[in-house]
């Protein structure tokens, strides 16, 4: 038998949390927003927004036996760790205020209302800090996904928005935190490091080259066996 957890909390101010989100830009380029990474990947939300359940519009998120609602983590370090995953590398790490109805977990919250307060971190695929946002080449109806890029990798990519320009298009009061600023000491030291050979190349291109080499070797072995 399990002990019952306390319920019915009434904090006097919203929670601060951290999460990863994809940056999106409207088709006409005038509005910006965010999209979730997995369950909420098709749902675009603004700087201030209310959660909606994608499966059942008859209940209000977060429903206990449903996965709906906004999510965030209590600790910045946990969000940074999540951002290391390959599939999350192009996401922005944002700081949010979580409010409304909520369910509190050990490491984070599921909740109904959210204010995105700051963009804390973004990373270019080459490893440098992302200072701008470029078309990621994917999207959902009406919205293009944006991916962070550094000044070196931004050339020739469009549309390009600085993080501040992106924040302004969300219609909210989102700040670009110092840690996302390339002038910050940590970022500067990271950016000054020489990149390893091949860094910045598309991982798909690298994999394709490896596969082509493997095929060539297999063909060579087959030819020897046939001979």
Q: Which residues of this protein are in contact with other proteins, per CB under 8 A?
A: 2-16, 19-20, 36-40, 43, 51, 60, 62-64, 67, 69-71, 73, 76, 78, 81-82, 95, 97-110, 112-113, 115, 117-118, 173, 175
Please identify, using beta-carbon distances, which residue of 157 and 179 lies nearer to other proteins: 179
Nearest-approach distance from CB 206 to other proteins, in angstroms: 27
Report which secondary-structure segment, H or E, holds 210. Answer: helix 203-226
Please identify, using beta-carbon distances, which residue of 109 and 149 lies nearer to other proteins: 109
Please identify, using beta-carbon distances, which residue of 117 and 128 lies nearer to other proteins: 117
Spatial separation of the C-alpha atoms in residues 72 and 25, rounded to whole Å: 22
Spatial separation of the C-alpha atoms in residues 69 and 48, rounded to whole Å: 14
- C-alpha separations of 128 from 29, 80, 145 in Å: 25, 15, 19
Instruction: Work out the burial of residue 6: count CB atoms within 10 Å of its CB; fewer than 13 is exposed, 13-18 middle, 19 or more buried.
Output: exposed
Nearest-approach distance from CB 222 to other proteins, in angstroms: 44
Nearest-approach distance from CB 27 to other proteins, in angstroms: 22
Please identify, using beta-carbon distances, which residue of 107 and 217 lies nearer to other proteins: 107
Nearest-approach distance from CB 16 to other proteins, in angstroms: 5
Number of other CB atoms surrounding residue 30 within 10 Å: 8
Nearest-approach distance from CB 7 to other proteins, in angstroms: 5
Burial 17-27 (b: 16+ CB within 10 A, else e): bbbbbbbbbee
Spatial separation of the C-alpha atoms in residues 182 and 81, rounded to whole Å: 20
Nearest-approach distance from CB 209 to other proteins, in angstroms: 32
Nearest-approach distance from CB 186 to other proteins, in angstroms: 13
- DSSP letters, 134-168, are EEEEEEETTEEEEEEE-TTT-TT-SS-EEHHHHHH
Please identify, using beta-carbon distances, which residue of 154 and 170 lies nearer to other proteins: 170
Please identify, using beta-carbon distances, which residue of 106 and 226 lies nearer to other proteins: 106
Query: Which of left, alpha, beta for 111 (phi over 0: left; psi -120 to 50: alpha)?
Result: beta
Please identify, using beta-carbon distances, which residue of 153 and 187 lies nearer to other proteins: 187
Residue 185 three-state SS:
helix
């Amino acid at each position: 038998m399990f002990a019952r957890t306390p319920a019915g909390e009434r904090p006097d101010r919203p929670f601060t949390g951290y999460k990863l989100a994809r940056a999106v830009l409207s088709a006409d380029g005038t509005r910006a927003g965010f999209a979730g990474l997995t369950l909420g990947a098709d749902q675009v939300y603004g700087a201030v927004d209310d959660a909606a359940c994608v499966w059942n519009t008859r209940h209000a998120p977060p429903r206990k036996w449903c996965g709906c609602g906004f999510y965030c983590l209590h600790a910045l370090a946990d969000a940074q760790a999540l951002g290391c995953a390959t599939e999350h590398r192009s996401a922005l790490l944002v700081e949010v205020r979580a409010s409304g109805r909520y369910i509190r977990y050990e490491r984070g919250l599921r909740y109904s209302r959210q204010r995105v307060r700051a963009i804390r971190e973004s990373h270019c695929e080459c490893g440098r800090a992302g200072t701008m946002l470029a078309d990621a080449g994917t999207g959902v109806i009406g919205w293009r996904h944006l991916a962070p890029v550094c000044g070196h990798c931004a050339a020739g990519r469009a549309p390009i928005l600085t993080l501040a320009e992106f924040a302004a298009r969300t219609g909210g009061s989102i700040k670009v935190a110092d840690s996302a600023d390339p002038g910050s000491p940590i970022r500067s030291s990271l950016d000054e490091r020489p990149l390893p050979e091949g860094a910045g190349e598309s991982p798909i291109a690298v994999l394709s080259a490896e596969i082509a080499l493997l095929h060539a070797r297999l063909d060579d072995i087959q030819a020897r066996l046939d001979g």
